[in-house]
Chain A
Amino acid sequence: MNDGNAIYRFLQPLAPDFVGDWGVVVTAAMVGVGIVVAIVSVIAMVSVWLERKVSAHIQCRYGPMYVGGWHGWAQTIADGVKLLTKEDLIPVGADRMLFMLSPSILLGALFAAMAALPLAPAFYFGWFDLGVFMILAFSSLTTIGVVMAGWASNSKWSLYGAMREAAQVVAYEIPLGVSLLAPLLVAGTFNLVEASHDQADFFGMGWFVFKNPFVAAASVVFFIAVLAETKRAPFDLPEAESELVAGFLTEYSGIRWSFFFMEEYAAMFLMSAVTAFFFFGGFESPFTYLAHEAFGDGIGYQLVCFATLAVKGFAGIFLMMWLRWTLPRLRIDQVMTMGYKYLTPIALLCVLGAGLWEGLKYALF
């Protein structure tokens, strides 16, 4: 399957001879970067709007209703333009270099992680045999951006936020990684497209959560760890606005602040997508099955796969929002207790169980 990415394959026949192979590769890479940036922006935009609408409807309000006409769909664009035109404030005494660098590191790491996410079985930016490993590695890198932001802001509240983030991520990386081992045992691959293909049986419903009960248990652990990893309530301690003013975001404003926001929402989508790939079928659903029957591997099938992934990703985002607007926040020691004392052992048990289950299945059938 490793035949370069779809953009390269599309551009290669069109390129004139003098460009050469390297010219096509560079062009394809630039187009790919453009697509990743566009996707991140669109996801962030839609998610912010969705969050405002979801929270509003949970709270008996309407949320944005005017900008753009239909249910205020353009509100986020208007907000983005406003944030762009705002003054770029850097507090006196802040470490200017780190202060300016941290949003870029955060967003850069996220773009790198996004690059490992296939959007359709035949549309990926690179064929990564360790795809999920790359996603987890780069999304952990965002923590460094947060800690950097908190330290560079020269504000005590920011420092608190940064320290909380560091402690929280250290505590939840373990259950996050370990619980993911359970579906990996079933899939036998780190590659997201291959993992998705493994779930195509039973009319597109052969999801790993249905194939192995321990994977189903691991999916809960994984989702909770994802909440902590993406700083979503009830684990939003790094920014805990009623305790730490805004945590590591306290001193940020304007477009830099919106970078943090973009990162948060895109990371939510990314982690929801990973959850979908390794627990809930990835591209596979009954619709995908039907599309494959009808179109084969053609463009129609690819579009249905993309739509399925988007729906699953946004379903995950919706679940995160639902939790955020329903639950109170945990305290830092409770977060730590939950991570170390409960989730990590449960995740290990899930891996053990999943391994035994698979072994028995292999031995018996």
Chain B
Amino acid sequence: MSDQTKEHTPTITVADQRVASQKGEREFMMDVRTQDLEVNMGPQHPATHGVMRILIRADGELVTGAQPHLGYLHRCAEKIGENVEWLQYLPYTDRYDYLAAMNNNLGYSLAVEALLGIEIPRRATMLRTICAELNRIASHLVAFGTYGLDLGAFTPFLYCFREREWLLMLFEKICGARLTYSYLRIGGVFNDAPPGWLEEVAYFCDVFEEKWAEYRDLLMLNHIFIKRTADIGVITPAQALDFGLTGPMVRGSGIDWDLRRDMPYMIYGEICDANVFDVPLGTGEQGQLGDCWDRVYVRVQEMMESIKIVRWCLENIEDGPTIAELPKVLRVPPGEAYVGIENPRGELGHYVVSDGGKVAVRCRVRGPSFCNLPILEDIMPHTFLADSVAIIGSTDVVIGETDR
């Protein structure tokens, strides 16, 4: 034994000894000394879904403390927003939540449009809704698939990516990009859908409905999967509200809060009036309310609700222009605006301030992954190491967005 090891051996305090002797375990306490192990999960770790580092203090397999450390992927997105023109910032929004770039484009565009006070053509709004909802499905497919991966089930991941691949192909057809679209932009969308695209989306919806049931039966209702996720990482409704969680994280705890319905933007008000979709909530079906299973199942159900919205849009879409008339060099009237939208991960808020110039004075982003992350510190202790992986997966963080 080296000197270093000796230094780290914890001394047994008098109080410990007293407690132990009361229990008649004094000798045991003197002989067996344990010390907590500090493990860095990440920044390079398969379960952290990117370059996040979680400092875990563990007593053997039991996690006694966890602290997320962020900032490995910080790219100064907000500062860049204060230095480039309004339209030029759009591609940067793609990069923070790279799994839901359409939604990011949408949030930023809506915030700037709120300042501009312009009318968006109806066809553009419809295309925006379709793209945003399809992107939600694509994002949830990754969340669901990688969650299976975290628990050691490889195959559902590849099944999910098969459907996601189709979605990415659809996006490629409409805007030429597979991941960073910049398709929804200030004033509308970049261009109209190519001929036959909408029919293909309808076909996708039909096929996906069948596959969805398959995936649900394959993974969500798998006995081992339920054993691994039910009653793990329980977030009580009160906790969810205290931490300001949004998106599937808060809905998994049974709190009925969806910005698409409760603070409608674009045509979501109209969609809600037509009673097109429901907001799935966690019910504690397999365990306690707000456990990992509930959160994941909320995401799985949301995919189906998105399909309903897409179908409604496909029925109601009409011909017309797809982008509003805007000057080449955009000057936004002075003022400030905050628009929050329902990103796949929760409330994505853009707060923009303009002084009437070509660039923003402030461009602040409220990222859902970032705001959903601190709960880890509360729910990870007193779980097993394998559970901590399940919990991180169920928060569905995208590190690009927590760090921006």
Q: In the assembled complex, how far is the CB of residue A115 from the closest CB belonging to chain B, in whole angstroms?
A: 34
Asked if B46 and A242 make an inter-chain contact with CB atoms under 8 angstroms apart, the answer reads: yes
Asked if A243 and B389 make an inter-chain contact with CB atoms under 8 angstroms apart, the answer reads: yes
Q: Taking the complex as formed, is A297 at the interface, i.e. its CB lies under 8 A from any CB of chain B? A: no
A334 to B384, CA, bound (A): 11
* Residues in B lying within 8 Å of A, measured CB to CB: 37, 39, 45-47, 60-61, 148-155, 158-159, 162, 219, 222, 224-225, 227-228, 384-387, 389
Asked if A328 and B162 make an inter-chain contact with CB atoms under 8 angstroms apart, the answer reads: no
Given A243-B386, A243-B389: A328 in contact with B159 (beta carbons within 8 A) = no
Residue of B nearest to A164 (CB): B61
Which of the listed residues B152, B154, B387 has the most CB atoms from chain A within 10 Å of its own CB? B152
Which residues of A have CB within 8 Å of B225?
A: 328
Given A60-B162, A234-B224: A243 in contact with B385 (beta carbons within 8 A) = yes
Interface of chain B, helix or strand or loop or mixed? helix
A21 to B257, CA, bound (A): 86
Q: In the assembled complex, how far is the CB of residue B323 from the closest CB belonging to chain A, in whole angstroms?
A: 39
Asked if B162 and A333 make an inter-chain contact with CB atoms under 8 angstroms apart, the answer reads: no
Interface residues on A, range: 20 to 34
Asked if A331 and B159 make an inter-chain contact with CB atoms under 8 angstroms apart, the answer reads: no
Asked if A328 and B148 make an inter-chain contact with CB atoms under 8 angstroms apart, the answer reads: yes
Q: In the assembled complex, how far is the CB of residue B226 from the closest CB belonging to chain A, in whole angstroms?
A: 10
Interface of chain A, helix or strand or loop or mixed? loop
How does the 8 Å CB contact mask read for A208-252 relative to B, with 1 for contact and 0 for none? 000000000000000000000000011011001111110000000
**CB < 8 Å neighbour of A331 from B45, B150, B222, B386:** B386
Given A60-B158, A60-B162: A328 in contact with B46 (beta carbons within 8 A) = no
Q: Taking the complex as formed, is A160 at the interface, i.e. its CB lies under 8 A from any CB of chain B? A: yes
A234 to B152, CA, bound (A): 8
A332 to B225, CA, bound (A): 14
Considering only residues 144-169 of chain A, those with a C-beta below 8 Å from chain B are: 156-157, 160, 163-164
What are the 10 A-B residue pairs with the smallest beta carbon separation, nearest first?
A329-B152, A328-B153, A59-B158, A328-B151, A331-B386, A328-B224, A242-B150, A328-B152, A156-B39, A243-B389
Q: In the assembled complex, how far is the CB of residue A227 from the closest CB belonging to chain B, in whole angstroms?
A: 13
Which of the listed residues B158, B159, B386 has the most CB atoms from chain A within 10 Å of its own CB? B386
Residue of A nearest to B219 (CB): A328
How does the 8 Å CB contact mask read for A43-61 relative to B, with 1 for contact and 0 for none? 0000000000001001111
Q: In the assembled complex, how far is the CB of residue B50 from the closest CB belonging to chain A, in whole angstroms?
A: 14
Asked if B387 and A60 make an inter-chain contact with CB atoms under 8 angstroms apart, the answer reads: no
**CB < 8 Å neighbour of B222 from A157, A244, A328:** A328
Which residues of A have CB within 8 Å of B162?
A: 60
